[in-house]
Copies of this chain bind each other. A is one copy, B any other.
């Protein structure tokens, strides 16, 4: 298997990106193709022991930066690490692509300039794999489409179902709609219309779920428009960060609680690891002709390694072919 990694992706590129690639190459023995400014990548690689690892470097002179306007950058920087890297996947020279770069940028380059949509896909969707207490849940769309129509959400559900089967190993994924109440009549117009489509979709549709289902999630796939899904995911992250900051500060505030905090540290670590998005690494962009995993800009080397792991699973699950087949069936 050959996975392309955008070496110019993360907020601190190329340091965590290259380090994550080295970890992945060592762990799985696959070939990792690092794409970006060759000189910088080689300098960074020189700091690692890469003996015996299958690491290749492909030069791309331009970088789509985090603060670049995505649509503009996708048009203007045709020699970016995203264009070159996704081009390798398009041309069959690699099996999957991973980036921690500008999310809007990779969406635009993948959808409009390189891989393009799978035939029949109305809108590709960005998904997050959420590490919840009850297991992994795929939430989509979390940011590719701010304005959606019910037919898009139906397709998101179909693609999520396929991903849950092919990659998460669910035999009959439970598909739910993110809503402001569980009853069938709840939701905004988009949710209510989508509810009807999902009821007749042949999917294992279990109805609406509220955010409180996070705790005891009975769904494997949670569907929403990209605006709501983005707010949802970002709110879980923000609340978790706020709460852990408050707890840390409160524990430090007195010597006694500080000792308690020290003793309880292994427990905190266990929890942190369990809900850490870096353990998952990244989420797939579904609906394009190739495996694309988008990681967080703040990714460290562990997150990058795990994002490469997600790409491996998606390639092994033949996700692109599975979505093609799934859509063909769903549209019968």
List residues of chain A with CB under 8 Å of any chain B CB: 132-133, 143, 146-147, 178, 180, 187-189, 191, 210-215, 225-228, 230-232, 234-247, 250-251, 253-254, 256-257, 259-268, 270-271, 274-275
Q: Which residues of B contact A268 (CB under 8 A)?
A: 247, 250
- Residues of chain B contacted by A231 (CB below 8 angstroms): 178, 180, 211, 228, 231-232, 235
Could you say which residues of chain B place their CB within 8 Å of the CB of A274?
246
Q: Contacts A263-B257, A263-B259, A268-B247; is A187 near B235 (CB within 8 Å)?
A: no
What 6 A-B pairs are tightest by C-beta distance, nearest first?
Answer: A260-B263, A260-B264, A250-B267, A239-B239, A180-B230, A146-B188
B253 x A261 contact (CB < 8 A): no
**Contact: A235 with B236, CB < 8 Å?**
yes
Q: In the assembled complex, which residues on chain B have CB atoms less than 8 Å from the CB atom of A143?
A: 180
B215 touching A238 by the CB < 8 A rule?
yes
Q: Smallest distance from the beta carbon of A330 to chain B beta carbons, Å?
A: 25
The A contact surface, by secondary structure, is helix
Are the CB atoms of B235 and A239 closer together than 8 Å? Answer: yes
Cβ of B253 and Cβ of A260 under 8 Å apart?
no
Contacts A/B (CB < 8 Å), 22 sampled? A146-B180, A146-B187, A147-B188, A178-B231, A180-B231, A187-B227, A210-B234, A211-B235, A212-B237, A214-B235, A214-B242, A215-B245, A231-B231, A231-B232, A236-B238, A243-B243, A243-B275, A247-B247, A250-B268, A254-B266, A260-B260, A260-B267
Q: Which residue from chain B places its CB closest to the CB of A257 in the assembled complex? A: B267
Task: For A133, list chain B residues within 8 Å (CB).
Answer: 242, 245-246
Are A265's CB and B271's CB within 8 A? no
Residues of B within 8 A of A211 (CB): 231, 234-235, 237-239
| CB-based contact B261/A264 at 8 Å | yes
Q: Are the C-beta atoms of A227 and B188 separated by less than 8 Å? A: yes
Query: Do residues A250 and B236 form an inter-chain contact, with CB atoms below 8 A?
Result: no
Residues of B within 8 A of A240 (CB): 239, 243
Q: How far is the CB of A183 from chain B (nearest CB, A)?
A: 9
- Among candidates B212, B241, B270, residue contacting A238 with C-beta atoms closer than 8 Å: B212
